[in-house]
A and B are shown apart, each in its own frame.
Chain A
Amino acid sequence: MNKILLIIQREYLSRVKKKSFIVMTFLVPVLFIGMISLVGFLLMKQNDIGDKHKIEVVDESGRFANNLKSTTVIEYVTAKGNYTTAKKTFIKDGDDYLLYIPASLDSIQILGEKKAGPMTTGKIEDELSNIIRSQRLAAAGIDTSVLSRAQKPISITAMQITEKGVKDAHSYVAMFIGFLSAFLIYMCLFIYGTQVMRGVIEEKVSRIIEVVISSVKPFQLMLGKIIGVGLVGLTQFLLWIIISVVLSMTVGTALIKSQISAKTEQVSTMQQGSSTGTPATQKQTDINFTSIMHDVQDIPVAYTIACFLFYFLCGYFLYSAIFAAVGSAVDNETETQQFMLPITLPLIFTFIVSQNFIINNPDSSISVWLSMIPFTSPIAMMVRIPFGVPAWQLALSMLFMIIGFLFTTWLASRIYRVGILMYGKKASYRELAKWIMYKE
């Protein structure tokens, strides 16, 4: 036992001390957060990332001029003359566009040196039709207070009936968490499984293996290596999470600050034009945002993390044992090709199926089956868990998972103990089967 600890220590330290580990540990969260915040920034700013447009308005109908309210991107200015004079002077006056509203409202035009973009025209259209609608409804004798009540936005909340009662199903958040954890497990099984395999090949190629196994049992060496690399994986995870949280908090506060200042600006403009009853759309997005925040708080964090750790560790043990067996059977990394397919196939298959099918049908029979088979369950089950999985299914899947990894570890160690001492012989599947049968 003491010797396994020594092996774990060596495997762990020799990897953690490597430059590539340190670089990866810091680079990945920086890139990740950088990417996310760039996307977030662009989404947030898509409205006002462009220049502010100044629009001169010639309103022959006389219905809009005083009701048009400027926003962060569009500023309305009443033209000084009539349409013909304004047409000639608006460019000279430094305005971008001329909005011409004839008395009949039939052919409203916007003129400019450049053609106005769809975003700009869309905004103006919304603004004009809102004003018209309010005016016509008011003309029909409907009170503005009735009006704003009539414009109640609707959103549907998916609810889930559980033993404890009814709760939000928070399906978007569930999808995201399912996707993220499945993706992480998929990536990590590959990354750390391959590291185990490389480690085994390195020991074999450098011929140190014979010295080491004259001191410890091959099984101890294999287990020590698997655990050591697994701990490296966990360390990297932990550091990634810490760095990501710290980074996203700093970047996040910066973003939120700018968002808040933008919001207050919007609110103040909204208040100015509240009588027109336009803030409906804005309100709706706000509600969605708070409901998502609410959903996030609603996710059982400890439960999800515990499940993630369980499936990550068991999946890792299951696959890395096979990776170790493959490493022991070959003389160099190029020879691993023929054995890699059966390992990678179930992983890739489950990953693709989970992202396209399970995530949309978490309770279909295929999803349930895939979350039971130990080779596919680490990914499939993690997609299902945020949607809620019956306790008996989870228990059964975990039981199979444990049996599965014990079995592959046993099988792999049978191949490993023979393989590490075999040189120059090209191993075939039939050969591997024979090795499993060898006596001690």
Chain B
Amino acid sequence: MISIRNIVKQYASHRALDDVSMEIQKGDVFGLLGPNGAGKTSLIRIINQITAPDSGQVLFNGEPLNQVHVERIGYLPEERGLYKKMEIGEQIIYLARLKGLSRPEALKRAKYWFEKLQIQSWWNKNIEELSKGMQQKAQFVATVIHEPELLILDEPFTGFDPVNAEIIKNEILELNKKGATVIFSTHRMESVEELCDSIALLNLSHKILDGKVKDIRNSYRSGTYMLEYEGDKIHLNGTSPFSILQETSLDGYQQVKLKINAGSKVNDVLHYMLPLASINKLEEVIPTMNDIFIQMVGAQNNNN
């Protein structure tokens, strides 16, 4: 869907993107991750043709990005905003028409979305009369009304209460199911695991990691397990197939975070433990995206 090839973007004394490349597959929910100032917004602006790269190329379905593609992209910027003194319904129609819809079509779809998100009673209100959550909903409608093939959402859940965040999340997933590709930029790693098929991690203007979420998490497995058992604390002897990273006891249960020694297997752990305690639970600790994020970004920023 989108091929980003060797993008360089230089601002006066600061290089925002340095030779960044990535592929975004059609139908994916793609997470664009990175700490503040990593270059996410710069990249998003380039895809939206708000700015142009100094060198490098962006392909949209194989064609070099051009003005035609603007109408096939829906963009929700991190800093939301609508005209304060304009009726919300008219405003949505205006933005839809800027994306190439005819007036009757824009009106029809706006009505549909207002009903779906239950904000139809706000149609004639000025934006400044609405609550923040209502404004966000209206802005979401403005982003998706022209049924874009590519949705670019920058922190879409900020400003929503949990109920509305859930509604918006489901709408995004539904659009994705209908075929829209979603680029999703965020700091909230738990939503990444929940929503994203693949990610790219930017740090200090470089891409430092990309791929499918499942693959990335698997590649960061380190043989760490969580063991929970009943009874007294065990004391390891020299023959144990694992080492203990962390121990806690809670209501008579002992919880141990352990790392299996090289050459040993999960079954060896069970085998060792069975005579010693009554085992409640043993599960692998797969690193969360949050862990990976902190590990990758933290390590790189410490080196610098």
Residues of A whose CB lies within 8 Å of any CB of B are 3, 6-7, 10, 14, 202-203, 206-217, 421, 434, 439-440
Q: Given the complex of chains A and B, what is the CA–CA distance between A203 and B81 in angstroms?
A: 8
Residue of B nearest to A218 (CB): B50
Q: Given the complex of chains A and B, what is the CA–CA distance between A99 and B73 in angstroms?
A: 96
Q: Beta-carbon contacts of B105-143 to A below 8 Å, as 1s and 0s?
A: 000000000000000000000000000000000010010
Count contacts on B: residues with CB < 8 A to the other chain.
29
Q: Given the complex of chains A and B, what is the CA–CA distance between A439 and B8 in angstroms?
A: 13
Cβ-based interface call for B54 (8 A)? yes
Contact of A210 among B73, B79, B86 (CB under 8 A): B79
Cβ-based interface call for B157 (8 A)? no
With a CB–CB cut-off of 8 A, which chain B residues contact A215?
Answer: 70-71, 95, 98-99
Given A208-B81, A211-B75, A213-B50, CB of A14 within 8 Å of CB of B86? yes
Q: Given the complex of chains A and B, what is the CA–CA distance between A188 and B287 in angstroms?
A: 65
B81 adjacent to A439 (CB under 8 Å): no
Q: Given the complex of chains A and B, what is the CA–CA distance between A207 and B82 in angstroms?
A: 7
Given A10-B94, A206-B84, A209-B81, CB of A214 within 8 Å of CB of B50? yes
Smallest CB-CB A-B distances: 3 pairs: A207-B81, A215-B98, A208-B81
CB pairs A–B below 8 angstroms (15 shown): A203-B83, A206-B82, A208-B82, A209-B81, A211-B81, A211-B82, A214-B48, A214-B50, A214-B73, A215-B71, A215-B98, A215-B99, A421-B45, A421-B50, A434-B12
Residue of A nearest to B11 (CB): A438
Cβ-based interface call for B176 (8 A)? no
With a CB–CB cut-off of 8 A, which chain A residues contact B83?
Answer: 14, 202-203, 206, 208
A212 adjacent to B52 (CB under 8 Å): no
Residues of B whose CB lies within 8 Å of any CB of A are 12, 45, 48-52, 54, 67, 70-71, 73, 75, 77, 79-86, 94-95, 97-99, 139, 142
Residue of A nearest to B12 (CB): A434
A330 to chain B, nearest CB (A): 17
Q: Given the complex of chains A and B, what is the CA–CA distance between A214 and B48 in angstroms?
A: 6
With a CB–CB cut-off of 8 A, which chain A residues contact B79?
Answer: 207, 210
Residue of B nearest to A435 (CB): B12
B113 to chain A, nearest CB (A): 16
Given A6-B98, A206-B83, A214-B48, 17 more pairs with CB closer than 8 A: A6-B94, A7-B98, A10-B94, A202-B84, A203-B83, A207-B80, A207-B81, A210-B75, A210-B81, A211-B81, A211-B95, A212-B95, A215-B70, A215-B99, A217-B67, A440-B51, A440-B52
Residue of A nearest to B84 (CB): A206
Dominant secondary structure at the B interface: loop
Q: Given the complex of chains A and B, what is the CA–CA distance between A196 and B199 in angstroms?
A: 42
A211 adjacent to B77 (CB under 8 Å): yes
B81 adjacent to A3 (CB under 8 Å): no
With a CB–CB cut-off of 8 A, which chain A residues contact B75?
Answer: 210-211, 214
A14 adjacent to B85 (CB under 8 Å): yes
B201 to chain A, nearest CB (A): 24
Q: Given the complex of chains A and B, what is the CA–CA distance between A206 and B126 in angstroms?
A: 13
Q: Given the complex of chains A and B, what is the CA–CA distance between A440 and B53 in angstroms?
A: 8
A380 to chain B, nearest CB (A): 37
With a CB–CB cut-off of 8 A, which chain A residues contact B82?
Answer: 206, 208, 211
Residue of A nearest to B154 (CB): A210
With a CB–CB cut-off of 8 A, which chain B residues contact A434?
Answer: 12
Q: Given the complex of chains A and B, what is the CA–CA distance between A10 and B45 in angstroms?
A: 25
Q: Given the complex of chains A and B, what is the CA–CA distance between A207 and B99 in angstroms?
A: 18
Q: Given the complex of chains A and B, what is the CA–CA distance between A216 and B67 in angstroms?
A: 9
With a CB–CB cut-off of 8 A, which chain B residues contact A211?
Answer: 75, 77, 81-82, 95, 139, 142
Residue from B52, B67, B79 with most neighbouring chain A CB atoms (10 Å): B79
With a CB–CB cut-off of 8 A, which chain A residues contact B80?
Answer: 207
A40 to chain B, nearest CB (A): 41
Q: Given the complex of chains A and B, what is the CA–CA distance between A290 and B135 in angstroms?
A: 65
Q: Given the complex of chains A and B, what is the CA–CA distance between A10 and B70 in angstroms?
A: 20
With a CB–CB cut-off of 8 A, which chain A residues contact B70?
Answer: 214-216
A206 adjacent to B95 (CB under 8 Å): no
With a CB–CB cut-off of 8 A, which chain B residues contact A216?
Answer: 70, 98
Q: Given the complex of chains A and B, what is the CA–CA distance between A7 and B83 in angstroms?
A: 13
B298 to chain A, nearest CB (A): 27
Q: Given the complex of chains A and B, what is the CA–CA distance between A215 and B67 in angstroms?
A: 9
Given A207-B77, A215-B95, CB of A439 within 8 Å of CB of B49? no
B88 to chain A, nearest CB (A): 12
With a CB–CB cut-off of 8 A, which chain A residues contact B84?
Answer: 202, 206
Q: Given the complex of chains A and B, what is the CA–CA distance between A439 and B54 in angstroms?
A: 8
Residue of A nearest to B74 (CB): A214
With a CB–CB cut-off of 8 A, which chain B residues contact A214?
Answer: 48-50, 70, 73, 75, 77
A210 adjacent to B77 (CB under 8 Å): yes
Residue of A nearest to B81 (CB): A207
Q: Given the complex of chains A and B, what is the CA–CA distance between A215 and B51 in angstroms?
A: 12
With a CB–CB cut-off of 8 A, which chain B residues contact A421?
Answer: 45, 50-51
With a CB–CB cut-off of 8 A, which chain A residues contact B54?
Answer: 439
Residue from B48, B50, B51, B139 with most neighbouring chain A CB atoms (10 Å): B50
Q: Given the complex of chains A and B, what is the CA–CA distance between A211 and B94 in angstroms?
A: 12
Q: Given the complex of chains A and B, what is the CA–CA distance between A254 and B45 in angstroms?
A: 65
Given A211-B95, A215-B99, CB of A439 within 8 Å of CB of B77? no
With a CB–CB cut-off of 8 A, which chain B residues contact A7?
Answer: 98
A251 to chain B, nearest CB (A): 36
A108 to chain B, nearest CB (A): 73
With a CB–CB cut-off of 8 A, which chain B residues contact A203?
Answer: 83
